[in-house]
Structure 1
Amino acid sequence: MDYIGTLRGQLQSMGEGFVETLPSLAIALFVVFITWIVARFAVRISDMFVGRTEIRASLKTLIDTIVRLTIWVLGLFVAAIVVIPDLTPSSLLAGLGIGAVAIGFAFQDIFENFFAGVLIMLREKMRIGDVIECEGITGKVEHITLRETHVRKLSGELTVVPNSILFKNPVEILTDVDQRRHQVVVGVSYDTNLDHAADVIRRAVEGADDVLVTKGVDIFAQEFNSSSVDFLVRWWAGSTPRAGWESKDKVIRAVKAALDEANIEIPFPYVTHTFKETVPVSQLGGSSKRTP
């Protein structure tokens, strides 16, 4: 048997078949190029229509992705038919159905994050610019994609969070509204008239800048501590972390100054010192002493 001749014949037939398919490949590449152009213009047209509405930025990104993905799927399908004329929509869908099972198992995490990203973009809460807290991550949402969300931490680092984490776990949105409640604990000495102290603290908090007096100020005697009676002081201010820190700084300064002016003591906590006996140093040739 002439193996060399058989191999030469197979290579020759393959080469002839490749040459015959060159026009189809060229047309398919041209279809892909046209698809790329159409996808770009379609996204721009979509942005023009969506930009006239008050739609969320995350939902706008989702619409652009769906438009681009739809055009690319249609374009690649047309290119595949040009290269393989026997390919039909039914055979393609059948092949995709069989392959989807294997691909689904192989890329389970990727698809999970993809669908979680779609659902995150569709829901109204957690918009770009919100400050969130989830699984120990606190920061500002900068970008939401179909697979991951970019969260800029308050210290400046960027954290890339898979969408499945944000979808399956509780997410605390700190900036869902413009104001939220803040609180601090203030302790006064036991010999203080609590009604008078509460009145002094209330006036100090209401006079502090950035405090929303119209939403109310709460002063509650909370507990008997070791060296003080503690008040829980609550007020409303801006919802961002910085607004909370600034308002707490102003409230603490105002309360401290008001209590000092009213001669109300903020006691130090008692510290218990424990002493223990040591071996007399005289037994070692020195004087005995206690060691705290």
Structure 2
Amino acid sequence: MDIKKISDLISEKLTYWLESLIKLLPNIFLAVVVLVLGLFIAKFIRKIAHKLFAKVSKNITLNNLFSSIVYLTVIGIVIFTVLSILKLDKAVTSILAGAGILGLALAFAFQDIAANFMSGIFISFRKPLRVGDIVEVKDYMGKITEVNLRDTVMETFKGQVVIIPNKEVFQNPIENYSHIRKRRFDLTVGVSYGEDLEKVQKITYDAVKDIPDLSEEDEVKVFFTEFGDSSINLSVRMWVNTPEQSVYNKVGSEAIIRIKKAYDANEIVIPFPIRTLDFGIKGGLPLNEVPIQISNGTEKKQ
């Protein structure tokens, strides 16, 4: 092995690298300047973006998320610009290709998480429900306590905490009882066929019209709905001035008590269900006419 040839080869390589570095010094200086300025610009843009998103959405988590996405996007542009200045185009291409493949793999692996995440973003903008609203979603009814980017937390009226994925909230019907800040209570009552219906209607209305916590803007409605099996049924519709479940139940209970007292005072009958029993094989025989088989084979009536 020739030591002189080896030393000449190393010297030649070092000289080439040094010359390339000297030629690249202006680009390195420019890249450093671009990087420093880019970091300051990215922070400034993040602050501006946060203020703009705060005007659109009151969700602090969502605003921080979007402002961070804007910040990282600007940082990415700065990094790619610096690499281009340093003539590392192949590195830029490799990074982009790797990022695309990684993003595709993550999309398949975490598609449910991504679906819940995107649904949370849409919910934050559309606002079909808010914290404190009384809603019914996916057979669950209760008060919303949290609306996160991945799930919605509800406390049911039985004291249970239900965590519903945002995809289920976004893709299913939502019954929001707090949207108009009041709730309607419907009560069905049955009276005897022999009653004076106009009198019943007036007595029912007078009994419930001044219940506390009823909405002053909406009048109580009392109207007959159908001929039942053993009664004529009427519906009492009252608007409660709050969506709160405790007040809603209280108004309903008070209405039942008042109607029962008013009917008793005016001798209005609330009939029990009536059933006619037919004991004949072919029909038409009451119990006292059904023959009884006795031991000697003869029959006698009761």
Selected match of 2:129 from 126, 131, 134: 126
Q: Give the aligned residue type for 2:62.
A: L
Distance change in 2, residues 1:56/1:174 (3 Å): farther
1:202 equivalent in alignment to 2:196 = no
C-alpha distance in 2, partners of 1:211/1:228? Answer: 28
Q: What is the correspondence of 1:161-180 to structure 2 with a 5 Å cutoff?
A: 161-180=164-183
C-alpha distance in 1, partners of 2:204/2:210? Answer: 10
Q: Give the aligned residue type for 1:217.
A: V
Give TM-score scaled by structure 1 length.
0.69
SS in 1 for 2:209: helix
C-alpha distance in 1, partners of 2:230/2:179? Answer: 39
| Runs of at least 4 residues off by over 3 Å | 67-79, 85-94, 271-283
Question: 1:201: how far off?
Answer: 0.4
Q: What's 2:117 paired with?
A: 114
Q: What's 1:249 paired with?
A: 253
Distance change in 2, residues 1:279/1:258 (3 Å): closer
Q: What's 2:159 paired with?
A: 156
- CA displacement, residues 244-279 of structure 1 (integer Å, 9 cap, x when unaligned): 211111111111111111111111111445658899
Distance change in 2, residues 1:88/1:137 (3 Å): farther
Question: 1:126: how far off?
Answer: 0.3
Q: Specify the structure having the higher radius of gyration (Cα).
A: 2
Distance change in 2, residues 1:215/1:152 (3 Å): same
1:66 equivalent in alignment to 2:70 = no
- 164-173 or 145-154, larger mean C-alpha shift: 145-154
SS in 2 for 1:209: coil
RMSD over equivalenced CA pairs, Å: 3.8
Percent of paired sites with the same residue: 30
Unaligned runs of 5+ residues in structure 2 are: 1-38, 80-85, 281-289
Q: What is the correspondence of 1:2-13 to structure 2 with a 5 Å cutoff?
A: none
Q: What is the correspondence of 1:260-275 to structure 2 with a 5 Å cutoff?
A: 260-273=264-277
C-alpha distance in 1, partners of 2:101/2:154? Answer: 37
C-alpha distance in 2, partners of 1:156/1:77? Answer: 50
Q: Give the aligned residue type for 2:246.
A: R
Q: Give the aligned residue type for 2:181.
A: D
SS in 2 for 1:104: helix
C-alpha distance in 1, partners of 2:206/2:217? Answer: 14
Give TM-score scaled by structure 2 length.
0.67
C-alpha distance in 2, partners of 1:251/1:243? Answer: 12
Report if the CA contact (8 A) 2:134-2:243 is conserved.
Answer: no
Selected match of 1:93 from 93, 96, 106: 96
SS in 2 for 1:215: coil
Q: Give the aligned residue type for 1:239.
A: P
Report if the CA contact (8 A) 1:118-1:146 is conserved.
Answer: yes
Q: Give the aligned residue type for 1:241.
A: Q
- 118-127 or 209-218, larger mean C-alpha shift: 209-218
Q: What's 1:105 paired with?
A: 108
Q: Give the aligned residue type for 2:67.
A: V
Q: What is the correspondence of 1:186-201 to structure 2 with a 5 Å cutoff?
A: 186-201=189-204
Question: 1:217: how far off?
Answer: 1.2
Q: Give the aligned residue type for 2:190.
A: G
- CA displacement, residues 40-70 of structure 1 (integer Å, 9 cap, x when unaligned): xx99xx69x95xx8x865x233113333555
Question: 1:212: how far off?
Answer: 2.1
Distance change in 2, residues 1:187/1:208 (3 Å): same
